[in-house]
Structure 1
Amino acid sequence: MRTPSRRRPRATLAAAAAGTLLAPLLSGCWAGAGGTGSGGDAINVLMVNNPQMTELQKLTAAHFTKETGIKVNFTVLPENDVRDKISQDFANQAGQYDVATLSNYEIPIYARNGWLHEMNPYVAKDPAYDEQDVLQPMRESLTGDDGKLYGQPFYGESSFLMYRKDVFAAKGLTMPAHPTWRQVADLAAKADGARPGMRGICLRGLPGWGEVMAPLTTVVNTFGGTWFDKDWKARLDSPAFREATEFYVGLVREHGESGAAQSGFAECLNNMTQGKVAMWYDATSAAGLLEADDSPVKGKLGYAPAPVERTRSSGWLYTWAWGIQQASRNPDKAWKFVSWASGKGYERLVGETSGWSDVPAGKRASTYTNAAYRASAAAFQEMTREAIENSRPNDPGVQPRPAPGIQFVGIPEFTDLGTKVSQEISSAIAGRQSTDSALKKSQALAERISEEYEGR
């Protein structure tokens, strides 16, 4: 039994939180904000280089700036780079960037550390923004421990099961309306080899807390497992966590894609597009790519809810959202940008100028009642909405949790812990070690976090 004397005090833990988020940056020197900060009629926005964001960048000057007179200076970087730069600027409250793209993993942590501007007063004064139109799971995931809003979603996603309807029909297979993982495993075995070189299912095996650990953790949840119990005791060696991991590793090894240990979202997308797999469990955002006009599998796919075992639902919840830095020199102008970029009007603008399939969906109820969007995304829009609305970020399993999160644990240390555990799991998928060995090592890693948090 660990004694209280081994627990770190709250002040030390807060410092550790900032240190963990800044860890990738400590190998170099940082000399303050540098460059030119925002001011006057300009704001600085730091964002990830996803297609939806680059489309926003193209539309901003001709629409937002023209309407408001507020110039927006964008810095656009790949995901890993942008996370590092955001943590650097926000943790130091340097104020170089007014707004940044943050996920529902970071926002509660940043809010806890006082790095973000509360948004409730802006929402109250801006009824046209219609906060109640934002899907409830999104609102909850962007709320701090104090019950206040600290982010607004730009687009959101959950996870579901995608499958080849034509392959299932040819093999006489039927996808249940609400499949269990056991049923999925049986279908994967029967679909294996349905066509030359085709495997039954694609599941991520690539190391990374946001790669293999995202889908695997949803399986762990619905099998009855958890990373930590309500008292912060590490539970990676529990029977339920072990059963779920052995199931996942066994399924992908027996009926999964070739090179599974090196396969992430991009690789599974390619496998599905190229007809190399009959099923794929992953992000709902993949459907828009699979149903694109130039996709060879457009119209051939069916969609089912994330498979379950012991829970009603198991889909994850993720959003790229906007956060306003507490040290922003222009928070009012920053809110005007956020409310425009996440508002109903922006969705209409994208639909009318770029096409409704490009709308950053997954965040507003009104999107799913829009006739033009429903027609464009008919194959998957209803299933996507249901997946998001049925997600339970504060109650994803069968037991109370000490921190929010479905496919992650909402603590700063999870980026490092999840990555290290993912390397062990990926090694098991590759056949370099047993699942039992991988979990023993993973439990030891998680127990170090337990020592820091127990008794809080």
Structure 2
Amino acid sequence: MKSLLAGILGAISLAALASTASAETTLTIATVNNGDMIRMQGLTEDFTKNNPDIKLEWVTLEENVLREKVTTDIATKGGQFDVLTIGTYEVPIWGKKGWLVPLTQVDDPADLLPAIAGGLTVDGKLMASPFYGESSMVMYRTDLVEAAGEKMPDAPTWADIKRIAGKITNKDKEIYGVCLRGKAGWGENMAFITATSNSFGARWFDESWKPQFDTQEWKDTLNFYLDLLKTDGPPGASSNGFNENLALFNAGKCGMWIDATVAASFVTNPKDSKVADKVGFALAPDNGLGKRGNWLWAWSLAIPAGTQKEEAAQKFINWATSKHYTELVASKEGWANVPPGTRTSLYANPEYAKVPFAKMTLDSINSADPTKPTVKPVPYVGVQFVAIPEFAGMATTVGQIFSAALAGEKTADEALAEAQDVATREMTKAGYIK
């Protein structure tokens, strides 16, 4: 009898355990190996204690590897991931293809910065929630600008940048007036050059998808860029990307650096920068045409259409991109380390207002509009990129051509003619040009 009772009780216990196990949902989250995402993983106990039925598994990858694996999985409906970390480039493309699940549980969506949310919205539906956002701006040496007898405007023109760079450059002392991206790549030199071209009135394509590299606006853009770097930039500029220019600036070699707003925390950190107490910030330059030469980007969280765990994924994304999460990071790491560039309420917070680069970051983000990125009308969304699948490969090739021109291997006119041929061929092959 005791044996029978023990058996019955054992069976009941096993059934209960099986029921508990089946009730648990495991979310597989693909993310990029940057500091903000690593920090989030360390804080997820705050989520799991309130959602004990949800277990989190992380696949943390270098950016290029992440993009390759996530793209392959979602295109083949592999179902390997339940939450994706993706950029502003992918969201409009994947959203239109029906590859993403619209988000329905985002904390206070009206609080999201319109410029950031606009690039993540398809047909009026938010397809990804921003974890952090960025634009680009001018970071400059206040001491060198003052010594040159100049004052950096909060909203400079390209003429201001050229004039001030010329006065700062002292090649004998290895001080260069300006550092800019020259390394080839759609996310390296072409991010900078495309954003700059917007302020010169240029565009990648006209309203019929015809490439525009044969226009005067692109000729003005590329000639200005090449002349500025050849005259007042560091040697070997065609090999310099974000990391190389960051090292040069922190070593005191650059009078100005125009790049991602996220770099502000690096150049003002005395542990990393020799000039941390001598850095000022200004908006990316313009030419008086109504568009500044700054870009717009966000790393965001999204749900692939192939997941079987949408409800749990919605809950996680709501937590990770919420105002509560921002306050959690601030309490643990300080306000300077919260994910920037996503919410209006963050920039209304008096504590965050004390961060020296907060206001200029917000102003830079707000001056970029991914739905109207250029002076003339265009058929695409995106500021420093064109949100079509063909862009990444095409822009990488054009970036190699422009980098070669910076290295002195070809003229600006030759580079633009090649870029026009490449873009025309690819857009014809893809069926955009009839």
Specify if TM > 0.5.
yes
Q: Is the CA contact 1:116–1:325 (under 8 Å) kept in the aligned structure 2?
A: yes
2:247 corresponds to which residue? 270
Tell me, what secondary structure is at the counterpart of 2:101?
coil
- Cα distance in 1 for residues equivalent to 2:298 and 2:125: 18
Listed one character per residue, the Cα deviations across residues 340-398 of structure 1 (whole Å, up to 9, x for unaligned) are 111111111111112222111100111112222222x2x21101001111211111211
1:338, CA displacement in angstroms? 0.5
Tell me, what secondary structure is at the counterpart of 1:243?
helix
The aligned runs of 1:114-125 (5 Å cut-off) are: 114-119=98-103, 121-123=104-106
Listed one character per residue, the Cα deviations across residues 35-70 of structure 1 (whole Å, up to 9, x for unaligned) are xxx99421010011011101111111x211122112
1:138, CA displacement in angstroms? 1.1
1:297 to 239, 255, 275: 275
1:307 corresponds to which residue? 285
Alpha-carbon spacing, 1:354–1:50, altered in 2? closer, same or farther (3 Å): same
1:100 paired with 2:68, answer: no
1:403 corresponds to which residue? 380
Q: Is the CA contact 1:291–1:298 (under 8 Å) kept in the aligned structure 2?
A: yes
1:3 corresponds to which residue? none
2:421 corresponds to which residue? 444
Listed one character per residue, the Cα deviations across residues 397-449 of structure 1 (whole Å, up to 9, x for unaligned) are 11111110110111110000000000000001111111111111110011023
2:331 corresponds to which residue? 352
The aligned runs of 1:118-197 (5 Å cut-off) are: 118-119=102-103, 121-123=104-106, 129-144=107-122, 146-193=123-170, 196-197=173-174
Q: Is the CA contact 1:103–1:319 (under 8 Å) kept in the aligned structure 2?
A: yes
Listed one character per residue, the Cα deviations across residues 134-186 of structure 1 (whole Å, up to 9, x for unaligned) are 10011110011x22110000000001111100111122111123211122111
- Cα distance in 1 for residues equivalent to 2:72 and 2:23: 20
Structure with bigger gyration radius: 2
**Amino acid across the alignment from 1:98:** D
1:65 corresponds to which residue? 48
- Cα distance in 2 for residues equivalent to 1:254 and 1:41: 59
**Amino acid across the alignment from 1:143:** T
1:80 paired with 2:64, answer: yes
- Cα distance in 2 for residues equivalent to 1:281 and 1:386: 15
Higher mean alpha-carbon deviation, 437-446 vs 293-302, is at: 293-302
1:422 paired with 2:422, answer: no
- Cα distance in 1 for residues equivalent to 2:108 and 2:169: 47
Q: Is the CA contact 1:203–1:257 (under 8 Å) kept in the aligned structure 2?
A: no
- Cα distance in 2 for residues equivalent to 1:287 and 1:171: 23
**Amino acid across the alignment from 1:190:** K
Higher mean alpha-carbon deviation, 46-55 vs 431-440, is at: 431-440
TM-score by length of 2: 0.91
Q: Is the CA contact 1:99–1:322 (under 8 Å) kept in the aligned structure 2?
A: yes
Tell me, what secondary structure is at the counterpart of 2:105?
helix
1:211 to 188, 199, 208: 188
**Amino acid across the alignment from 1:42:** T
The aligned runs of 1:199-238 (5 Å cut-off) are: 199-238=176-215
Tell me, what secondary structure is at the counterpart of 1:322?
strand
Q: Is the CA contact 2:198–2:292 (under 8 Å) kept in the aligned structure 1?
A: no
1:293, CA displacement in angstroms? 4.1
- Cα distance in 1 for residues equivalent to 2:76 and 2:259: 35
Number of paired residues?
409
2:300 corresponds to which residue? 321
- Cα distance in 1 for residues equivalent to 2:422 and 2:340: 37
1:219, CA displacement in angstroms? 1.4
Runs of 4+ more than 3 Å apart: 452-456
1:53 paired with 2:53, answer: no
2:26 to 32, 36, 42: 42
Higher mean alpha-carbon deviation, 417-426 vs 105-114, is at: 105-114
- Cα distance in 2 for residues equivalent to 1:318 and 1:268: 19
- Cα distance in 2 for residues equivalent to 1:56 and 1:87: 23
1:254 to 199, 218, 231: 231
- Cα distance in 1 for residues equivalent to 2:235 and 2:32: 30
Identity of aligned residues (%): 40
Tell me, what secondary structure is at the counterpart of 2:225?
helix
- Cα distance in 2 for residues equivalent to 1:411 and 1:40: 38
Q: Is the CA contact 1:39–1:329 (under 8 Å) kept in the aligned structure 2?
A: no
